[in-house]
Amino acid sequence: ESESAGGRRARSDAEILLCTLFAQVLQLEQVGPNDNFFELGGDSILALQLIAQARAHGIILGVRDIFQSPDVEGLALRVAPLAESTLSGEAGETLDTSALCERFRKQYPQLETVLPLTPLQQGILFLSQEEKSAYQVQLKLRIEGDFDPERFRKAWEDILERHQALRVAIPLNETAFAVVCRKVALPFLLEDWQSLPPTQLQEKLDAFVEHERARGFALDVAPLLKIAVVQVAEKAWEMLLTCHHIVLDGWSLALVVAEALRHYAGQPLPEAPSLSTYSAWLQSRPLAAALDWWRKELEDFDTPNRIDLPVTVPQNGFGEETLVFTAEETFKLEQTARALRSTPSTFLQVLWAVLLGRLSDRDDVVFGNVVAGRPAELAGAERMVGMFINTVPVRLHIDATVDQLVRTATTFLSERPEYAPLHQVQAQASIPKGSSLFDTLFIYENYPVDEKLFGREAGFAITASEGIEAPPYPLTLTALPGKVLTLKLGYDRQRYDAQGAARILLWLARMIRAAMDNTAQQALGLPLLNETERAQILYACNATRSTFPQEKTLPQLFEEQAARTPEALAVSDATQHLNYAALNALSNRIAFAVRSSLADIGRLHSGSQTLSQPIVGLCVERSVERVAALLGIHKAGCAYLPLDPGHPAERLDFELRDANVSLVVSTRNQAACLPQGVARLLLDETDLERFSPENPSSLLAPTDLAYIIYTSGSTGRPKGVMVEQRGVINRLCWLQRVLPYTSRDVILHKTPITFDVSVPELYGGWLGGAALHMLDPGAEKDPQRIAATIAERCITSIHFVASMLEAFLDHLETSPEDRAGCASLRRVFTSGEAVSKELVARFNRVLRPVAGASLHDLYGPTEASIEVSCYPCPQETPRIKTIGCAIDNTQLYILDRRGEPQPFGVPGELYIGGVQVARGYLNRPELTA
DSSP states of 765-803 as a string? GGGGT-EEEEPPTT-TT-HHHHHHHHHHHT--EEEE-HH
How confident is the model over 135-155, as a mean pLDDT?
93
Cα(871)–Cα(855) distance, integer angstroms: 9
CB burial class (10 A; 0-12, 13-18, 19+) of residue 214? Answer: exposed
Residue 38, pLDDT score: 86
Q: How many CB atoms lie within 10 A of CB 449?
A: 15
Contact 89, 379 (CB under 8 A): yes
CB burial class (10 A; 0-12, 13-18, 19+) of residue 539? Answer: exposed
Cα(249)–Cα(26) distance, integer angstroms: 25
Cα(26)–Cα(41) distance, integer angstroms: 7
Contact 519, 336 (CB under 8 A): yes
Q: How many CB atoms lie within 10 A of CB 150?
A: 10
All structural domains of the chain: 13-81 (1.10.1200.10), 98-278 (3.30.559.10), 288-381+393-436+443-449+479-531 (3.30.559.30), 546-724 (3.40.50.12780)
Average pLDDT, the chain: 90
Residue 449, pLDDT score: 57
Task: Decide if pLDDT at 529 tops 80.
Answer: yes
Task: Decide if pLDDT at 82 tops 50.
Answer: no
Cα(141)–Cα(138) distance, integer angstroms: 10
Per-residue burial over 598-619, b if 16 or more Cβ lie within 10 Å, else e, is beeeebbbeeeeeeebbbbbbb
pLDDT in tens, 617-662: 999 999 999 999 999 999 999 999 999 999 999 999 999 999 999 9
Cα(654)–Cα(651) distance, integer angstroms: 5
Provide the angle, in degrees to the nearest 10, between the axes of the packed helices 13-26 and 44-56: 130
Task: Decide if pLDDT at 169 tops 90.
Answer: yes
The secondary structure of 627-676 as a DSSP string is HHHHHHHHHTT-EEEE--TTS-HHHHHHHHHHTT--EEEE-TTGGGGSPT
Which of 124, 447, 137, 492 lies closest to 307, judged by CA? 492
* Percentage of the chain exceeding pLDDT 90: 71
Which of 506, 507, 502 lies closest to 491, judged by CA? 502
Confidence of residue 2 (pLDDT cuts 50, 70, 90): low
How confident is the model over 181-205, as a mean pLDDT?
95
Q: How many CB atoms lie within 10 A of CB 157?
A: 16
SS3 72: helix
Task: Decide if pLDDT at 131 tops 70.
Answer: no
pLDDT in tens, 772-831: 999 999 999 999 999 999 999 999 999 999 999 999 999 999 999 999 999 999 999 999
Q: How many CB atoms lie within 10 A of CB 286?
A: 12
Which of 538, 542, 544 lies closest to 903, judged by CA? 538
Phi/psi at 270 (nearest 5 deg)? Answer: -70, 165
Cα(881)–Cα(311) distance, integer angstroms: 9
* CA triple 67-71-77, angle to 5 deg: 90
Q: Percent helix, strand, coil in the chain (nearest 5)?
A: 40, 20, 40
Cα(582)–Cα(693) distance, integer angstroms: 9
| Strand 390-397 to 80-81 pairing | unpaired
Residue 611, pLDDT score: 46
Which of 69, 496, 458, 91 lies closest to 280, judged by CA? 91
The number of helices, as runs of H, and strands, as runs of E, in the chain is: 28, 34
Q: Which residue has the higher pLDDT, 52 or 363?
A: 363
Task: Decide if pLDDT at 605 tops 70.
Answer: no
Amino acid, single-letter form, for residue 843: F
Q: How many CB atoms lie within 10 A of CB 692?
A: 11
Phi/psi at 723 (nearest 5 deg)? Answer: -115, 130
Q: How many CB atoms lie within 10 A of CB 295?
A: 13
Q: Which residue has the higher pLDDT, 612 or 647?
A: 647
Residue 450, pLDDT score: 54
Which of 338, 131, 95 lies closest to 214, judged by CA? 131
| Strand 390-397 to 577-579 pairing | unpaired
**916: CB partners within 8 A, 6+ apart:** 727, 730, 731, 860, 864, 865, 866, 867, 868, 887, 889, 890
pLDDT in tens, 713-756: 777 789 999 999 999 999 999 999 999 999 999 999 999 999 99
DSSP 372: -
- What is the SS3 assignment for 421-462? CHHHHHCCCCCCCCCCCCCEEEEECCCCCCHHHHCCCCCEEE
Residue 87, pLDDT score: 36
Q: Which residue has the higher pLDDT, 50 or 147?
A: 147
Residue 456, pLDDT score: 57
In the sheet that 615-619 helps form, which strands lie side by side, from edge to edge? 680-682, 663-666, 615-619, 639-642, 705-710, 720-724, 920-921
Which of 757, 833, 766, 836 lies closest to 798, judged by CA? 757
How confident is the model over 315-328, as a mean pLDDT?
94
SS3 203: helix
How confident is the model over 341-366, as a mean pLDDT?
96
For the ranges 122-126, 518-522, 532-536, 874-878, the lowest mean pLDDT is seen at 122-126
Cα(101)–Cα(111) distance, integer angstroms: 7
Cα(812)–Cα(481) distance, integer angstroms: 61
pTM, to two decimals: 0.80
> Quick check: bond before 471 cis, omega within 30?
no
Which of 801, 809, 803, 779 lies closest to 792, judged by CA? 779
* CA triple 926-927-929, angle to 5 deg: 95
Confidence of residue 86 (pLDDT cuts 50, 70, 90): very low
Residue 58, pLDDT score: 66
How confident is the model over 504-521, as a mean pLDDT?
98
889 φ/ψ sector (left φ>0, alpha ψ -120 to 50, else beta): left
Task: Decide if pLDDT at 608 tops 50.
Answer: no
In the sheet that 475-480 helps form, which strands lie side by side, from edge to edge? 318-324, 486-492, 475-480, 440-444, 364-371, 390-397
SS3 881: coil
Q: Round to the nearest angstrom and report the end-to-end CA distance of the chain.
A: 70
**Taking the C-alpha atoms of 37, 40, 41 and 47 in order, what is their torsion angle to the nearest 10 degrees?**
-20
In total, the chain counts a number of residues equal to 929
Residue 89, pLDDT score: 36
Residue 616, pLDDT score: 97
Residue 370, CA distances (Å) to 360, 388, 392, 406 in order: 22, 10, 7, 18
734 φ/ψ sector (left φ>0, alpha ψ -120 to 50, else beta): alpha
Residue 84, pLDDT score: 37
Alpha-carbon Rg of the chain, whole angstroms?
38
Q: How many CB atoms lie within 10 A of CB 463?
A: 12
Confidence of residue 72 (pLDDT cuts 50, 70, 90): confident
DSSP 864: B
Q: How many CB atoms lie within 10 A of CB 101?
A: 16
Amino acid, single-letter form, for residue 523: A
Which of 65, 1, 58, 78 lies closest to 37, judged by CA? 65
